Chains A and B, each alone.
Chain A
Amino acid sequence: MAAPASERHRPSFQLGPQRVVQMDGDQLVRVGARPGLIRYIRNIWAFRHFLQYDAHARTSSQNNLDSLGRFWMVMNPLLQAAVYFFIFGYILETHRGIVNFIGYLIIGVLTFRFIQGAVVSASNSIAGNQQVVQAFNFPRACLPISSAVRELFATVPTFVVMAVLVYFIGDYQIADMERANITLDWKWLMFFPAIFLGLMVMTGLGLILARVVANYNDVKHLISIGTRLWFYASAVIFSVDRFADRGHDWIITVMYYNPAFCILDIIRDAWLYDGVGEPFRWAVLGGWAVGAMVIGMIIFWRGEETYGRER
């Protein structure tokens, strides 16, 4: 092992002659240097097959250890929705003032699960994949992006379940719940752009968090607290109007600018209330998607050379 830093010195002697090698460095590149942003993005594009295959392979092997296998991809969200319904709808009665509460709750819980999963797995993607990072030379942004995409792949069965449930029992009434008819039409397709924009927001946030977690592992603990807070700030299990009644107007403002709330609100509007989503929601969500992606990419790219180090 080399001498500790404090005792470092140039060797005090050498018998061979000291030589200086002069050269023209035009042909050379610095190994491991971070490329320019445009080039970086182009590199990511070149690695798109890796990204997609990685997401696919890991999704399909996710439930390998369970005897029921991929059945859990469907079962898990169902059970979760049932628990939330029992506690918040039935016992705590948060459903007051919400039309089609069952559908409202199902969409909220299942979609937010995807949002949370994508951010959390993207933020862990560098710290948790050191082996891959050190073994291969690819643009590191592939990992957070692939994690977010993987989460989307893994949630596809959930979304199918969600659509089926909402269509068949979304307007079911228990006791005094209000109801409006749910009809299947083209407006349901609004789901896709909303989720796509949502995925962009998640990826952008994930890129930022991935860099932070790679440098400061401690942040991981804060992320789980943060997503919990986010959960309650996104009107997943109750309606925004509850706050309006009590004069907490600032909470409503926060919610209106919250991308997760925008996603939920657009999907609910399209599936439950026969609308296409308020333009303001689309604008906020679009702004978040572009902003998070650009800022996240720049922040992540600037740390490109730091991700491979030993921790």
Chain B
Amino acid sequence: MSTPTSPYTPRRANWPARNGNAGESLDLDPEVFDDGFGFNEIEEIAWDDHPLTQNAPQVETVDPEKVSVAVDSASKIYRIRSGSEHKNSTKRIGRHLQRALGSGWSEIPALDELSFVVNRGETVGVIGTNGSGKSTLMKLLTGKIRPTSGEVFATSTPVMLGVNAALVREISGRENIKLGCLAMGLSPKEAQKKFDMIVEISGLQDALDRPLKAYSSGMASRLQFAIATSVDPDILLIDEALNTGDAQFRSRTKKRLDEVRAQAGCVFLVSHSLGTIKQMCTRVIWIEQGRMLADGDPEWVCAQYQEYTDHKSNGRMRAAQIVYDRTQLKLSPIQVEFIDGTRPTKAG
């Protein structure tokens, strides 16, 4: 066995250890041990009926009309500049050089390979603890960053609706609204039309002509969110947006969000609020430690997630790990294949 990452090892014979080559301990030819090892008493596991062998995957064909988003084994490793990277460097000369220059690359794996297909009309919740890779997945979906491996396909470019729209600090709120609208590809006329709506949602009528640096952070994020809602995308991503602002703002945005959601073909909702997720979503994807753990029924996934976070927050690491492993065991990973010659390459 190679070094396990978790202290927990499942005990049941047909539960292979989580990491490394579980096969080493289980997959040995039983005949070798037949004499004296007592292997005859152990119930034989029908390996071929078992999906564990992965020999014959089930092939499904989906209706191309219905597919909205297809993620084909996309993964992401951030590669960023870092001044303290020399501490991790293994090569001696390289380490000294990096130390002297105070520069180096640091690799931060954010997302393991994952694949899924989302159909039109689905509302997909994305949950996971902080730093699990939810936001990275959202960025991959909108095409703002490129996956390190794999690709993301969609019927049209998904639009992220969140609190990260860029604002220019020096210019007034009014100008920021116009700039944001134009940056999202609206024509000046459309921007003019949306203007009143954005002001109303943001509730910043009094502060419109102040430069943005005079805004409080809450006001700025309200403005960002209001600007972001001015588009009517077909594929919509909502990132934590429901949790911004005070109660008054939330009730105002709810109406607009419902409108946008109603006309969108497909919605991804990232939230920490399980209530919202269960209420709105038809399907939930749980991402943990950069890996997709579960993809399915909201009630069930949320229950697992709840249990996991409960254990985690009470310091019961082993119990949390059990939930983690147990949930992953249920996952039936998919592999996306395109009928010959139809793999999309063109731009959206």
Determine if B154 and A16 form an interchain contact, defined as CB atoms under 8 angstroms apart: no
Q: Which of A18, A23, A36 contacts B333 (CB 8 A)?
A: A18
Determine if A12 and B166 form an interchain contact, defined as CB atoms under 8 angstroms apart: no
Q: How far is the CB of A52 from chain B (nearest CB, A)?
A: 9
Determine if B59 and A30 form an interchain contact, defined as CB atoms under 8 angstroms apart: no
* B339 on the A face (CB < 8 A): yes
* B84 on the A face (CB < 8 A): no
Determine if A49 and B347 form an interchain contact, defined as CB atoms under 8 angstroms apart: no
Inter-chain CA distance A169–B326, complex, in Å, is 85
Inter-chain CA distance A49–B328, complex, in Å, is 49
Determine if B153 and A29 form an interchain contact, defined as CB atoms under 8 angstroms apart: yes
Which residues between 1 and 43 of chain B lie within 8 Å of chain A, taking CB atoms? 5, 16, 18-23
Contact string, B320-338, partner A, CB cutoff 8 A, digits 1/0? 0000000011111111111
Question: In the complex where A21-B337, A27-B67, A54-B179 touch, is A14 in contact with B290 (Cβ < 8 A)?
Answer: no
Q: Which of B111, B141, B289, B329 contacts A14 (CB 8 A)?
A: B329
Determine if B333 and A25 form an interchain contact, defined as CB atoms under 8 angstroms apart: no
Determine if B151 and A30 form an interchain contact, defined as CB atoms under 8 angstroms apart: yes
Contact string, B189-232, partner A, CB cutoff 8 A, digits 1/0? 00000000000000000000001000000000000000000000
Determine if A13 and B52 form an interchain contact, defined as CB atoms under 8 angstroms apart: yes
Which residues between 210 and 245 of chain A lie within 8 Å of chain B, taking CB atoms? 217
Inter-chain CA distance A66–B164, complex, in Å, is 30
Question: In the complex where A1-B110, A13-B52 touch, is A21 in contact with B60 (Cβ < 8 A)?
Answer: yes
Inter-chain CA distance A241–B291, complex, in Å, is 69
Determine if A31 and B60 form an interchain contact, defined as CB atoms under 8 angstroms apart: no
Question: In the complex where A14-B333, A16-B332, A46-B185 touch, is A24 in contact with B342 (Cβ < 8 A)?
Answer: yes
Contact string, B99-121, partner A, CB cutoff 8 A, digits 1/0? 00000000111111100010000
Determine if A33 and B346 form an interchain contact, defined as CB atoms under 8 angstroms apart: yes
Determine if A29 and B146 form an interchain contact, defined as CB atoms under 8 angstroms apart: no
Q: How large is the interface on A (under 10, 10 to 19, 20 to 34, 35 or more residues)?
A: 35 or more
Inter-chain CA distance A5–B107, complex, in Å, is 9
Q: Which residues of B contact A187 (CB under 8 A)?
A: none
Q: Which of A13, A15, A132, A308 contacts B22 (CB 8 A)?
A: A13
Q: Which residues of B contact A253 (CB under 8 A)?
A: none
Q: How far is the CB of A146 from chain B (nearest CB, A)?
A: 11
Contact string, A28-39, partner B, CB cutoff 8 A, digits 1/0? 111111111001
Q: Which of B142, B166, B168, B329 contacts A13 (CB 8 A)?
A: B329
Inter-chain CA distance A234–B109, complex, in Å, is 49
Determine if A2 and B133 form an interchain contact, defined as CB atoms under 8 angstroms apart: yes
* B77 on the A face (CB < 8 A): yes
Determine if A16 and B335 form an interchain contact, defined as CB atoms under 8 angstroms apart: no
* B188 on the A face (CB < 8 A): yes
Q: How far is the CB of A145 from chain B (nearest CB, A)?
A: 14
Q: Which residues of B contact A217 (CB under 8 A)?
A: 81
Q: Which residues of B contact A57 (CB under 8 A)?
A: 168, 171, 175, 179
Question: In the complex where A30-B151, A137-B157 touch, is A20 in contact with B335 (Cβ < 8 A)?
Answer: yes
Q: List 21 A-B contacts (CB under 8 A).
A: A4-B109, A12-B18, A14-B332, A15-B51, A16-B332, A20-B337, A21-B335, A22-B61, A23-B61, A28-B155, A30-B344, A31-B154, A32-B157, A33-B348, A49-B182, A61-B168, A131-B166, A134-B139, A137-B142, A309-B78, A309-B145
List residues of A whose CB falls within 8 A of some B CB.
1-5, 8, 10-36, 39, 46-47, 49-50, 53-54, 57-58, 60-61, 64, 131-138, 217, 305-306, 308-311
20 further A-B contacts with Cβ under 8 Å, apart from A3-B290, A310-B79, are A16-B332, A16-B333, A18-B332, A20-B60, A21-B117, A21-B336, A25-B343, A27-B155, A28-B154, A29-B153, A30-B151, A32-B144, A32-B146, A34-B347, A50-B183, A54-B183, A57-B179, A60-B171, A64-B170, A132-B166
